[in-house]
């Protein structure tokens, strides 16, 4: 999380420079900060913007469920995702629960989305799973930039991103 926090300001400047449909989606994601500007939300926005910036789809990593009942019935077919269950608390504020799902099975329930991303990387390593090809650059950035594992061997896209951020 410290490395993500360190990279976030430069990452947000970099992703903001994108135009076209990617730029529009990034601005929509950044608007999430207008409602809730907490450290957890800044981390989530940075991760979501990173996924879009890398040309990958948020839907391949995150699956939003309105409530617990929809979550229980919607697990089938989810290979490796972070399920987000959004609830409204009594005070009217948004409360989200993030759950890591692998092969349709609930693995870990986390407190927030950024921590679930970190836990998912740990699960991938512990179970020796392959990265999903739809998210190969996102997972590579997590591994090589944020976790600093095997950082010398990176794809051209990730190396370019690393050079721009550092």
Tokens of 63: 């699956």
* Structural domain boundaries, residue 41: 2-165
Task: State the pTM of this model.
Answer: 0.88
Domain count within the chain: 1
Specify the pLDDT at position 87.
59
Per-residue pLDDT at 51: 96
- Count of CB atoms situated within 10 Å of the CB of 88: 10
Q: Which of 22-31, 38-47, 103-112, 152-161 has the lowest mean pLDDT?
A: 103-112
164, 22 Cβ separation under 8 angstroms: no
* Residues 33-88: tens digit of each pLDDT: 998 889 999 999 999 999 999 999 999 999 888 776 677 677 777 889 999 987 54
d(CA 83, CA 98): 6
Average pLDDT over the chain, rounded to an integer? 88
Quick: pLDDT tens for 139-162.
999 999 999 888 778 999 999 999
């Amino acid at each position: 999380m410290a490395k993500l926090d360190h990279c976030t300001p430069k990452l947000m400047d970099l992703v903001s420079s994108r135009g076209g449909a990617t730029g529009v989606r990034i601005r929509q994601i950044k608007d999430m900060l207008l409602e809730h500007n907490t450290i957890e939300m800044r981390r989530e926005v940075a991760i979501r913007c990173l996924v879009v910036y890398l040309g990958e789809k948020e839907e391949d990593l995150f699956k939003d469920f309105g409530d617990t009942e929809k979550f229980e019935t919607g697990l089938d077919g989810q290979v490796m995702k972070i399920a987000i269950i959004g609830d409204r608390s009594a005070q009217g504020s948004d409360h989200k629960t993030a759950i890591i799902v692998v092969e349709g099975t609930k693995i870990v329930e986390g407190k927030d989305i950024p921590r679930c991303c970190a836990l998912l990387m740990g699960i991938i390593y512990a179970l020796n799973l392959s990265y999903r090809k739809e998210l190969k650059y996102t997972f590579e950035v997590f591994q090589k930039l944020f976790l600093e594992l095997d950082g010398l061997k990176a794809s051209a896209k990730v190396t370019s991103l690393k050079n721009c951020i550092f």
